[in-house]
Structure 1
């Protein structure tokens, strides 16, 4: 297990390095230049423009600029924002808590409503199964941004139950402010998880070993818990992990809709302004989250089913 984790962490480091180069190159080739945002559309002389480019190192070749950024990151320096002149690490530190609260809240909703609804529908069937299938189809078909607007219109503007803007302060106030954004963010993923969980449970419920266990007089609750739900959790764990990892990227739309000061909103502004250091830092966070979540999923496989092999080793 330990060797497997070390190998995966090494692979994650290589992935981060490759991703950083690709993203930096994409930003370099994208239309527009950083200095055009720095001058805010004003007409400046070529001398002033050349001075700006020299001040921010924009005249350096691409590989040299990337190398300077990379060596800084390896020493703990994420660079400085071109537009705000703030330390990128400080910018991220002020934005990450909001995104963490939002994604954690949405992940909890996905697990509670997606997994639980799928398990109950798969075990009981009937009208409840039909309701879950219908609800998951509707939830998956509703875009996140439209869900955000609909939730704001109904529960904030019409009913006045939840605030519209801001992330709140303190635990209870933050939960109140982030409820609608978390629901909008979790809705499509919860629908997918519920559908896949229901399918996995139904497949396990109809297997031969379940029928044999019931024929031997094993109580239904024991069979459901040990033979059906536990075996169904392997594919469910994968889809839950993938959707939770995707929440960090999907939070960008929700943060923009609810004007939250999270990492997603910071990324949108940085891309528009070609703020290389900020884009790179946020991109590294996103890639790292995906890598860590995938590692956690692989480890959970071994916890759920000890027969699973990790990297050629017995868990």
Structure 2
């Protein structure tokens, strides 16, 4: 009697199992949030402990102009917790931040949170207005340059390159001399009242702050648009008789947004850092001006808070950009699902 062996059908090995879009985005979000938290942790270590290697004694600063007695130094040092071990000071500082307490300002003798809340609105309004100028002018210049080869392309490229080479403080002086002093169209100092008055006062500072970034955005947009215009699917869409505007917005601009979004995180941090120069020039009471004053006065608690805000804004903006990109660019989404 013959025995017939039944072999189980072989199943080809699969290199990997594809995840669904929702699961892939969830994994990506968790990974990015983890990276964000780790980055902020190391940034907090650097920001806090850097003050221990800088020259200057904050306790002696509080008694500047007077001959400090030993007991006065001891009292001030104990009042602000400067007599405790550095690691204990760090843990107290981080715990306070998690509860909205950034410590006390050595200069203003009040909560750092209160000091920042008085200054932060001006800087945020300035940064938002500058971001609007960057987005509108930068995107328009880049799109026009990519769609109009020849004279217009060269003119726009030369103009934005020259504008990008102008430092913010030089741009601030030039804009003030022309539009405030010569023409009298805009005020040259202060942030004005709320509403349209504030917008009128912040127009020149926002242009001075955003000029370099407008040029950068225009070059990135032009380069990304040129890359997409040379792709085969764009040529096929054009050959089918689709309107030029439809081709540009549906097939070119959408796919070109990836590199533009990537640089937006860098631009946010750049705006917050450069705001110190512009706020000093135009006399704006924002956190940029506060940072300069606090460094000069050795107000470490305020300096640490502002630096952490800038770092957090930069890391958070890049995290949000990384999460948005798969939703805009199908190629990135496909790559995420295959991981």
Shorter-normalised TM range: over 0.9
Whether the 8 Å contact between 2:28 and 2:323 is mirrored in structure 1 is no
Counterpart in the other structure of 2:304 = 280
Distance 1:226 1:59 in 2: 63
The runs of at least 4 consecutive aligned structure 1 residues that moved more than 3 Å come to 309-315
Counterpart in the other structure of 1:221 = 245
User: Would you say 1:89 and 2:125 are equivalent positions?
Assistant: no
What's the CA shift for 1:152? 1.2
Distance 1:311 1:207 in 2: 19
Counterpart in the other structure of 1:253 = 277
The higher radius of gyration belongs to 2
50, 54, 75: which one pairs with 2:78? 54
Structure 1: 5+ residue stretches without partners = none
User: Would you say 1:196 and 2:220 are equivalent positions?
Assistant: yes
What's the CA shift for 1:191? 0.3
User: Would you say 1:25 and 2:49 are equivalent positions?
Assistant: yes
Residue correspondences, number: 315
What's the CA shift for 1:304? 1.8
CA RMSD across the alignment: 2.0
Distance verdict in 2 for CA 1:188–1:297, change over 3 Å: same
31, 38, 52: which one pairs with 2:62? 38
More off after superposition, 80-89 vs 172-181? 80-89
Whether the 8 Å contact between 2:60 and 2:73 is mirrored in structure 1 is no
Whether the 8 Å contact between 1:111 and 1:240 is mirrored in structure 2 is no
Whether the 8 Å contact between 2:220 and 2:260 is mirrored in structure 1 is yes
Instruction: Give 1:62-101 correspondences, 5 Å limit.
Output: 62-101=86-125
What's the CA shift for 1:190? 0.5
Distance 1:61 1:217 in 2: 73
Counterpart in the other structure of 1:139 = 163
Distance 1:266 1:307 in 2: 44
110, 125, 141: which one pairs with 1:117? 141
Whether the 8 Å contact between 2:269 and 2:311 is mirrored in structure 1 is no
Structure 2: 5+ residue stretches without partners = 1-24
What's the CA shift for 1:271? 2.0
User: Would you say 1:237 and 2:261 are equivalent positions?
Assistant: yes
What's the CA shift for 1:88? 1.1
TM-score by length of structure 1 reads 0.93
